[in-house]
Amino acid sequence: MPNTADDLRAIALAEFTTAGYSATSLHRIAELAGLSKSSVLYHYSSKETLLEATVAPAIDRMTAILDELSSGPFTPARRTAFLEEFVDFILQYRREVNLFINQGPSLIDVPVIDRANEVVYRLAEHFAATTGSIEDKMRFGIALGGAAYTLCSQDELGFALPIDETRAALVTILTELLAPIPVASLSNQEK
Amino acid sequence: MPNTADDLRAIALAEFTTAGYSATSLHRIAELAGLSKSSVLYHYSSKETLLEATVAPAIDRMTAILDELSSGPFTPARRTAFLEEFVDFILQYRREVNLFINQGPSLIDVPVIDRANEVVYRLAEHFAATTGSIEDKMRFGIALGGAAYTLCSQDELGFALPIDETRAALVTILTELLAPIPVASLSNQEK
DNA sequence: GAGTAACCTGACCGATCGGTCAGGAACTGT
DNA sequence: ACAGTTCCTGACCGATCGGTCAGGTTACTC
């Protein structure tokens, strides 16, 4: 039985990702929830507080994954397990990730966005995207931004692909994108 | 000698992509241009008109590329040439593409966005992303959304990677992402 | 000098924004 | 019956939004 505060959080998340944070009014959120604007401000003291509550669960989850990952050696086996964990994470929290990816730069001085930036930095470290070549950095960026975009554009366009197939495809593509490249696929380019 | 109207267009593009369309006020654009808000509305009769002028060049360019491509057979050689053309396009118009990718859903009933959607659909056809498997659709989405995100996050974070290396890396990654994979998933090659 | 077109401006408008506040309604425990 | 807490509301506030309008300034033409 979800309470009103959770309803508002879910509605806000959907509106923030589709219409944009600044384009979403508290009146609009209240309308979708069947409440008045004052009621929204009763549950969340400000629009920014509502934003914080909206993205915080995703950040907490990713932080937990990274913490658990840092507790041991980064073997190839754990790497592939981590990639699947990451896929499941981004499937569950695609809207939150998309919100951060696309609107993060415009939401500076919001504390929760700083936390999100930190998490993304830690995530990038595990894919050598902070120390590696330009191509490695771009592979990480394309995987992160591309996955968030692809998954959310499905929602926005109204249709939904079957989750199990989506998950399998995502694992395949991200593995190909992020795995340490075997010598074979470097063959075609110059230098 | 750049035109005042062109200045405004460039300023608007930068602000629309970083801060978001609805979060960018005409006053802000005027301030950055050293003009008054009334002057902005002299050159562009409305905020929406300014948006149209901002994204139109990118759409025109991509339309031209697609038209020229449709005029002949889609041989493998032309396919790779087209991919490089696409990379050059997205490098030049990364802000416009990012604007459409991220804020397009919130800008419905703006005519220029409809044109952009049409262009993206035509683009998707060339990568079998409208007829292919779920994985093919996702490959296209990840390539498009990921490239736009990665290139624009560079600008937003203030640093700029060397363009020639960026271009080479982008060609490599997108080829790997979008090219029909030899053995693994060649289900949709002929048909 | 008169006319005119391009460019720019401040004052102003109605609408909407996020947020405050006093208080009503319903449910508790006593 | 009483008081307290929770939840919700409309009225209201100052600020800002996109946009209109009348008019000022420059420069070029006749």
Do the Cβ atoms of B97 and B110 come closer than 8 Å?
no
In a domain, A44, yes or no: no
Q: Of B134, B170, B164, which is closest to residue B151 (Cα–Cα)?
A: B170
DSSP state, A182? P
pLDDT tens-digit map of A101-155: 999 888 888 899 999 999 999 998 887 767 778 888 899 999 999 999 999 998 7
**Tokens (6 digits) for A89:** 């994470």
Q: Which tens digits make up the pLDDT trace of B49-105?
A: 999 999 999 999 999 999 988 887 777 788 888 899 999 999 999 999 999 999 988
Residue B106: pLDDT band with limits 50, 70, 90: confident
Contacts made by residues A105-109, CB under 8 angstroms, sequence distance 24+: A105/B18, A105/B19, A105/B153, A105/B156, A106/A21, A106/A22, A106/B18, A106/B19, A106/B20, A106/B23, A107/A21, A107/A51
What's the pLDDT at A190?
38
A2 pLDDT band, cuts 50/70/90, is low
Query: Which residue type does A168 have?
Result: A
More reliable by pLDDT, B186 or A123: A123
- Residues 32-91 of chain A with CB under 7 A from strand C are 37-38, 41, 45-48
- Confidence bin at A156 (pLDDT 50/70/90): confident
Does B134 sit within 8 Å of A141, measured CB to CB?
no
Q: Please return the burial class of B162, using the count of CB atoms within 10 Å of its CB with bins 0-12, 13-18 and 19+.
A: exposed
Q: Percentage of chain B surpassing pLDDT 70?
A: 92
User: CATH number of the domain that A168 lies in?
Assistant: 1.10.357
Residues at the strand D interface (CB under 7 A)? A 3-4, 30, 34-39, 42-43; B 24-28, 37-38, 41, 45-48
- What is the rounded average pLDDT of the residues B162-187? 76
Q: Which residue has the tokens 């993205």?
A: A55
pLDDT of residue A92: 96
Question: What are the respective helix, strand and coil percentages of chain A, to the nearest 5?
Answer: 75, 0, 25
A106 assigned to some structural domain: yes
pLDDT score of B1: 52
- Is residue B148 less than 8 Å (CB to CB) from chain A? yes
Check residue A183 and give its pLDDT. Answer: 38
Q: Are B134 and A169 an interchain contact pair (Cβ–Cβ within 8 Å)?
A: yes
Residues of B in contact with A163 (CB under 8 A): none
In Å, how far is A1's CA from the nearest CA of chain B? 31
Please check whether strand C approaches the CB of B36 to within 7 Å.
yes
- What domain range includes position A179? 55-186
Decide: B59 and B116 in contact? Cβ < 8 Å: yes
A45-100 tens-digit pLDDT? 999 999 999 999 999 999 999 998 888 777 778 888 889 999 999 999 999 999 99
Q: How many CB pairs under 8 A join A and B?
A: 134
Q: Tell me whether residue A41 is in a domain.
A: no
Rounded, the Å distance between the CA of A9 and C1' of C27 is 25
The one-letter code for the residue type at A169 is A
Residue B14 scores a pLDDT above 90: yes
Judge whether A29 lies within some domain: no
pLDDT at B133: 86
CA distance B105 to chain A (A): 6
For residue B64, tell me if it sits in a domain: yes
How many whole angstroms from its chain centre is CA A90?
Answer: 6
The Å distance, CA of A167 to C1' of D18, is 44
Indicate the number of domains in chain A: 1
Reply yes or no on whether the pLDDT at A168 is more than 80. yes
Residue B131 has pLDDT above 90, yes or no: no
Residue B71: name the closest of B80, B82, B87, B56 by CA: B82
Tell me if A179 is assigned to some domain.
Answer: yes
Domain annotation covers residue B36: no
Does some domain include residue A78? yes
Q: Residue A150 phi/psi, 5° resolution? A: -60, -45
Neighbours of B41 (CB within 10 A): 15
